[in-house]
Structure 1
Amino acid sequence: MSQNFAFLDEHSKKEIRRQTLKAIAIPGYQVPFASRELPIARGWGTGGLQLTLSLVGQEDIVKVIDQGSDESVNAVNIRNLIQSTTGVEDTIHTSEATIIQSRHRIPEVPLKPFQILVLQVPTPEPLRSVEPSERKTKILHGDKEYSGAYIKLFEQIMRHGHITDDADYPVLVNGRYVMAPSPIPRFDNPKMNHNDGLILLGAGREKKIHAVPPYTDVASLAFEDYPFEVEDFSDKVCRESGLSGVYMDELVDEETGETYYMTNDTSYMLEKMNEEEDLHANHR
């Protein structure tokens, strides 16, 4: 028996595309969709994968990353599934890809107008920690009543003296809907604002799709006296590449016990290292 292109049947892909168009038309709004069964467990990227499978075409070039790495187990398995059911070309270079599926990171290389970034989302509801009822959160979104999200941040300031959310930091999209941007680090939040590419967010377990269209206002929630701030890596240098000003992982050398930093976006790091090598080679 022949297998469908991109695994999903055509009716499923059409339904997902229809809901995706609605999400694009209403930036930041959570659109329900009939999440399909896939040969991976829900919670391991099925929402993002369904978006990718519904959108990918034979001319597309796909990149899959997991927390900055193209070679993690999750990234490799998802990429293998996409390739085995479509035969499309893959790449590790952000600038070459037409569809980028990512878990917990927005690449360091800015998106271009022809690119789609698909983010995997475990919990799409930004009000879930303050309101467990789905029915009530829908009412709150309808009324644009987001005091609960601000109170959560305010409580962090009262307890710790600063906002402690390091990832999945809530944002206001297009001045209307508060959105959970997937557990990307705060460092990546500003990349969503007036971004050139299309950002789609899929939650397979929660059966929701939301989107940030190109050139959309995206503002991280904050207070006048406690403005939004990203992680500061200006005084840190990547031990492998010498890069600074990018999002980095803090690691410990097992032999010396020394703490060091490594660029999280591995493909970006390799590209910069190769550029440096080419530059030195040309000067010889």
Structure 2
Amino acid sequence: MSLSSLTKPWEAFSYGFLDASAKRELRRKMLKAIAVPGCQMPYASREVPIARGWGTGGLQVTLTLIKPSSVIKVIDQGADDSVNAASIRRFLSRVSGAGETWDTQEATIIQSRHRIPEEKLREDQILVLQVPNPEPLRPVEPNMSTARQMHADADYGRLWLTLYEQMVRSGRIMQGASYPSLVNGRHVMTPSPIPRWDVPKLDMARHLTFLSAGREKRLYAVPPFTRVEPLVFSDVPYKVEDHASLTCHRSGVTGYFMNEIPQDDGGSQFELSDSNFGIKAIRRAEGLDVEQGETWYKNGEFRP
């Protein structure tokens, strides 16, 4: 017996970087996540060439879904040109041969950190959200074994109590990003650290959404045309951020989610969080023929 007989000939890494075993496991867990919307599915998170906490969960899901005919869009808090978004998009293209784009309308897979694009997604598009902490019960129950049992029993009383305490102390619900939401009338999930502005975009949406946390080794899904209801009291309506009157200083667009940019004089300027949507608005204002999809919001009001 020789060493060469015990080893395989050298081969390049698998298509899409992940090995076939990892992809099979992820596909099984993704199918289970679709079958039980909002329910967390554990998986063996693999090592990928970015640090834990920088989108490894979303990257593994995208690597499992990707194919040469795919068109990839990656955004980081709305921006296509951030270092994290550009690096992930370039890596995905290199290991798969898939196309790259900034345009929401052209993409078939959209991987995002902390935002959902302003333009509506179609049935043939998949949204992959990076999630740092997938457990909505962690703030009220740090013991994960107990939290799993609470999910099994649909015992979310402590979450309701937390929201009630915020109302009593502050006069309003203070929960901003990662607003706990009931999926398909059964499981409460945390919809990634997306702002409250984006949560209604998941309700009865036409696209499939995967949410994956590589560090926590959990993924869950929101299938198309599935109810996603933020936890609210019947006499206290759900409110999104009040950005209806804010105007982007670059594009002049009003009525969408804005980033606040502090100025040296103590004031603030506002800029569209969805950078490509802002670029389209600027080009349209310059008279260029730019295709812009239908948006979830109009003049700050959500329209399903």
- Using the size of structure 2 for normalisation, the TM-score is 0.89
* Equivalent in the alignment of 2:115: 105
Pair 1:189-2:199 in alignment: yes
Unaligned runs of 5+ in 1: none
Q: Are residues 1:144 and 2:145 paired? A: no
Tell me what 1:271 maps to: 280
Q: Which residue of 2 aligns with 1:11?
A: 21
Deviation at 1:42, TM superposition (A): 1.0
Max Rg structure: 2
Distance 1:112 1:27 in 2: 19
One-letter code aligned to 2:187: Y
Normalised by the size of structure 1, how large is the TM-score?
0.96
Aligned residue pairs total 279
Q: Could you tell me whether the CA contact under 8 Å between 2:181 and 2:191 is conserved in 1?
A: yes
Identity over aligned residues, as a percent? 50
Give SS of 1:232's match. coil
The structural deviation recorded for 1:5 is: 1.3
Distance in 1 (CA, whole Å) between partners of 2:59 and 2:182 is 25
Q: RMSD in angstroms over aligned alpha carbons? A: 1.2
Secondary structure at 2:68's aligned position in 1? coil
Residue 214 in 1 paired to residue 250 in 2? no
2:300 paired residue number: none
One-letter amino acid matched to 1:118: V
Q: Structure 2 CA distance, aligned partners of 1:150 and 1:36?
A: 35
Contact 2:13/2:19, CA 8 A, preserved across alignment: no
Partners of 1:272 and 1:217 lie apart in 2 by 31
One-letter code aligned to 1:62: I
Off by >2 Å, runs of 4+ in structure 1? none
Q: For residues 198-245 of structure 1, what are the alpha-carbon distances to aligned partners after superposition, in whole Å with 9 as ceiling and x for unaligned?
A: 000000011001000001011000112222100111111111111111
Structure 1 counterpart of 2:56: 46
Please tell me whether the aligned partners of residues 58 and 88 of structure 1 are also in contact (alpha carbons under 8 angstroms): yes
Matched to 2:218, the amino acid is: K
Q: Is the aligned partner of 1:261 residue 2:270?
A: yes
Counterparts of 1:181 and 1:224, CA distance in 2: 21
After superposition, residues 233-248 of structure 1 pair within 5 angstroms as 233-248=243-258
Q: 2:292 corresponds to which residue?
A: none
Residue 281 of structure 2 aligns with an amino acid whose one-letter code is K
In structure 2, what is the Cα distance between the partners aligned to 1:228 and 1:48? 28
Letter in 2 for 1:158: V
Give the aligned partner of residue 28 of structure 1. Answer: 38
1:136-167 deviations in Å (ceiling 9; x for gaps): 11111111111111111111112211111110
